Structure 1
Amino acid sequence: MQLDTARFLRDLDELRTIGTYRTGVHRPTFSPQDMESRHWLARRMEEVGLDASIDGIGNVFGRHRGAGPHLLAGSHIETQNHAGWLDGALGVIAALALARAGLPVDVCAYADEEGHWGDFLGSRSLVGDLTEAQIDAARNRTTGATLRDALAEAGLAGRPRLLLEDGRYRGALELHIEQGTQLENAGLRLGVVTGIVGIRQWRIVIEGQQDHTGGTTMRERRDAGLTAVRLLAAVDQEFPKVCAERSVWTTGRILLDPNMPQIIPGRAEITFSFRDLSVEVMDRMEACLHHLVWESNRRERCTARLEFIGRTEPSLSDPGLLAALEGAAESLCPGAWQAMPSGAIHDSQILSRKLPVAMLFTPSIGGISHHWSEDTKREDLELGVRVLAEGASRFLMGN
C-alpha cells in the first residue's frame, strides 16, 4: 500500500476551487457547480483505475476492477449553501486516496446527503429505499423546483440507478470532519465513531385564542405563544433528568399565528427533535415529552398536542471495523484519539441497513461546519486518511 497524502491534499484543494465561496464552497445538489464537481471526480476515478459512472440519481461510483474482498468508501461532494469545503468532500477524496494506494475499494460520492431535494437520496437509492414515486414527488427545499426537472437539466434523466451488489462488500467506511468541538476541546486529533445517533422529531401544536393585545385582559387571555415558551422551558428543565451525557434536543422552529406585534397569537407550532445513540434513552425522553404535554394541558388555558413527524434509528458501528480502526488509531496516533458517537447523521447510517459500517472523525477548528469558515488542520487531514487506510488494510487482512 503506497498512500500518497500529498496527492490527497492536492485533490482536496483542487475540488474546493469548483464553486468557491470565500474560503468555503457553494455547490448545492445538481447545480452547475455540483455537476462540474461530479464529472471532475469521475475523471479522477478513471485515473486511479476505477470504472467510473454517474447514475440516474447523481451518485458518482468508481468500481474496483480487481478481486475482492472489497470495501465501499466515500461520502458526498455537494454542500450546503455557502458552506464549508471539507464536509463530505473529505470522505470522498480520502476514499479516492485508498483506491490510488491499491486497496480494493469501490469509491462513491452519494448524491444529496445535504438534503436539497430530499433525505439522503443517493445512499437510499443504493440500498433500494428510494421509489420512482418519491422521485416524482421530490421538490427543491428552496425553490420548489421538481427533482425530475433538475435531473433532466443535469443530464441524468433516463440513466439507470445503481444498487449495491449483494455479497460484494465486507463493509463500508467514511472519513468525515467532526462538526463539533469534542476533539478540539480534548486536545485530540482523531475520533473513532462508535455509532450514529437516532433522531425522533415532533410537531407540537398549541391552540389558543387570537385577540387584541390592548383590549384583552391578562385574566382572559389564551396566549399560545406564552404556553409554548413555558412548555419548552419545562422540557429544558426535565430532560436532563432522563437523558444521557451526549443526548441533545432542539427547538428548530417556532411559528406564531398570526405573528403580528399587536395581536395575541392564537396558535403556535413548534418543531422539536432529540437525538441519542441509545434507543432506551430516547424512549425515556419520548415518555417525558408526552408527560410534559399532558401536564401543560392540565395547567394551561391553551391546549397542546403532539404530532409525530418521523424517526431515524441509531446505527452502531460494526465491531470488526471498529476494532480495525481503533488499532490503526492507536498505532499511528497513540493517546491522541478517542471513541465517540456521531451526533450528526451521515450516509453511513443509511448504508448500515445493508452493510457493516464504521466512521472516523477529524477535528473541526472551532467546531464550525455548514459555514464557509469551516476548516481542519492539514496535518489532521493527513492523519485521518492514514488511519483510514491502515484500518481498512487491517480489516481486510483480518486485523
Structure 2
Amino acid sequence: MAEVDTARFLADLHELRQIGKFKTGVHRPTYTPEDMQSRHWLMDRLREVGLTPSMDGIGNVIGRHPGPGPHLLVGSHLETQNEAGWLDGALGVLAGLALARAGLPVDVVAFADEEGHYGTFLGSRSLIGDVTEAQMDAAKHNMTGKPLREALREAGLESLPRERLDPSRYKGFFELHIEQGTQLENAGLRSGVVTGIVGIRYFKITAIGQQDHTGGTTMAERKDAAVAAMRVLSLIDERFPMHIGERTVWTCGRIMLEPNAPHIIPGKAELVFQFRDISEEVMDRLEELLHRIVQEVGRRDRCTLSVECLNRSPPALAHPAMHEALRQAATKHANGQWQPMPSGAIHDAQQMAKILPTAMLFTPSIGGISHHWAEDTKEEDLTLALRILADAAENYLKQ
C-alpha cells in the first residue's frame, strides 16, 4: 500500500488556512487576492511533489503527473464562502497532493468557483466544455454584480486560455470532502462512503396580485401577492412530506416583494425555491405536486401564479467499482465506523461524473457546521479519511 505522509498532509492544511485567515476559518472568495494567493501556493506545492502545474483562464489549477498512466484525477476547490471554513474544498485538494506525494499516478485539480460567486460550477464545467464564451460574458458576481470578465482581468487570468480535460487520460475522479452535516457525528461514525450526489431543481414562483393601499382596500377586495406566495410555501411544507424520499430537502432561499413598502399591498411576489433528492422519480413527483399547489393557490387567492424552472441538475451516482474500492478501504481502516450515505450538498464531482467514473468520500463535520468560520473536523478523522482514500485509489488503479 502507498504510504501517505499524514503529518505533512495536516501541516499543508494548516499552512493553507493562514491564507485569508478569519477567526478559526478563512475568507477566500473567488478571484480575490487571497484566493489567487492560495492557487499560486498550491502550484508551488505541486512542483515540490514532481507534478507539472498550470493555471487556466478561469482559474483552474491542475498538477499533472509526468509518468505513464492509468492516472486518477483527485481534487476539489480552494475558494470559500465569505468568512467560512478551512476544510470545505481545501481538504480534497490537499488529499490529492498527499496521494501524489506518496507516489500514486495522480493529477491534482483545484476547480475555480465551486462556491458559485460568479455562476454554477464555472471551473469544473469549463473543464468539461460546458461553459460558452457568451456565458462568460454574461456572468456576474451574485451579490455585487461585478462582471466575471472584470474579475478575471483583475486576477491576472484574462490572457490565459481555458483548459479542457481529456477523459481518456483518467481512470476516474475521487473527491474527499467534509460531510457538511450531522449524520456521521450523530451516528458515532468516522467516515461516509458516498452513494451519489443529489439532484437539484430550482424554480422561480411568481405571484401577480394588485398593488393597492393598505388602509383603503378592504380584505374582501384584496389580491395580495405576498399572501399567495406565503400560502404556496405553507402548502409545500404541509404536503411535500407525503411524497418525499428518505433524504429529500427543500428550501425557499429568496423572497422578493414589489414594491416592498410598509403601506402598500404587494402587487408582485417572487420566490426562488429548490428541492434536492438522489432519485429522479421522487423529484418528478415533487415537481408535479408543486405545480398543483401553485394552481390551487392561484384560484383561492385570486392572483396569477406561475412556475418557471430555472435549473435542473441530475443526481450523480457513484461509479460502482470506485464506490466498492472505497467501501473495502473504509471497512479495513475505519473498523466498522463508517456508512454508505448520499451527499445532500452538491460538489464538483457532479460535473466530473458527466465525463469520468466518479466517487466521493466524506469525513465528519463537528456539529455539522460548514460555510461558517467555526467549521472543523478532528485531525484523527482527517488522517483516517486520507488513508481510506489512498487505499481505495491504489486498489482501483490495479483493477
Query: Does the Cα contact within 8 Å between 2:23 and 2:373 map onto a contact in 1?
Result: yes
Residue 300 of structure 1: CA displacement? 2.0
SS in 2 for 1:203: strand
Unaligned runs of 5+ in 2: none
Amino acid at match of 1:30: Y
2:394 — aligned with what? Answer: 393
1:66 match: secondary structure: coil
- Report Cα offsets for 1:82-104 as digits up to 9, x if no partner: 11110000000011000000111
Give 1:131-280 correspondences, 5 Å limit: 131-280=132-281
CA contact (8 A) 2:208 2:268 kept: yes
State the match for 2:99 in structure 1. Answer: 98
- What secondary structure, in the 3-state scheme, does the structure 1 residue paired with 2:73 have? strand
Q: Secondary structure at the match of 2:108?
A: strand
Match of 2:337?
A: 336
Tell me how many residue pairs correspond in the alignment: 398
* Residue equivalent to 1:87: 88
Question: Residue 225 of structure 1: CA displacement?
Answer: 1.3
The residue aligned with 1:116 is 117
> Does 128-137 or 20-29 show the bigger shift?
128-137
Shift of 1:230: 1.5
> What is the deviation of 1:263?
1.6
Cα deviation, 1:139-183, whole Å, max 9, x if unaligned, reads: 222322222222222222221222112311110000000111111
**Mean CA deviation greater in 121-130 or 293-302:** 293-302
* Cα deviation code 1:100-124 (max 9, x no counterpart): 0011110000011011111111111
SS state at 1:72 partner: strand
Of the structure 1 ranges 215-224 and 172-181, higher mean CA displacement relative to structure 2 is found in 215-224
CA contact (8 A) 2:325 2:393 kept: yes
TM-score by length of 2: 0.98
Residues 128 and 355 in structure 2, CA contact (< 8 A), matched pair in contact too: yes
DSSP-derived class of the 1:148 partner: helix
Distance in structure 2 (CA, Å) of the matches to 1:226 and 1:83: 35
Cα offset, 1:355, TM superposition: 0.2
How much has 1:54 moved relative to structure 2? 0.9
One-letter code aligned to 1:138: A
Q: Which residue of 1 aligns with 2:23?
A: 22
Report if the CA contact (8 A) 2:59-2:111 is conserved: yes
Distance of 1:249 and 1:123 partners within structure 2: 25
Cα deviation, 1:280-337, whole Å, max 9, x if unaligned, reads 0000001111111121123222221111211101110000000000000000012211
What SS does the corresponding residue of 1:108 show, helix, strand or coil?
Answer: strand
Partner of 1:40: 41
SS of the residue 2:168 aligns to: coil
8 Å Cα contact 2:228-2:298 kept in structure 1:
no
Give the drift of 1:42.
Answer: 0.2
What is the rounded CA distance, in whole Å, between the counterparts of 1:161 and 1:264 in structure 2? 49
> What is the distance in 2 between the residues matched to 1:382 and 1:350?
27
* Aligned partner letter, 1:105: V
Asked if structure 1 preserves the Cα contact closer than 8 Å seen for 2:91 and 2:176, the reply is yes
Q: Confirm or deny: 8 A CA contact 2:167 2:356 kept in the other structure.
A: no
Give the whole-Å Cα distance in 2 for the aligned partners of 1:337 and 1:198.
24
Q: How does 1:296-375 map to 2 (within 5 A)?
A: 296-375=297-376
Report the AA paired with residue 60 of structure 2: N
Q: What TM-score do the two structures reach when normalised by structure 1?
A: 0.98
Checking the alignment, whether the CA contact within 8 Å between 2:224 and 2:301 is kept in structure 1 is no
Identity %: 64
In structure 1, runs of 5+ residues without a counterpart are none
Q: RMSD between aligned alpha carbons? A: 1.0
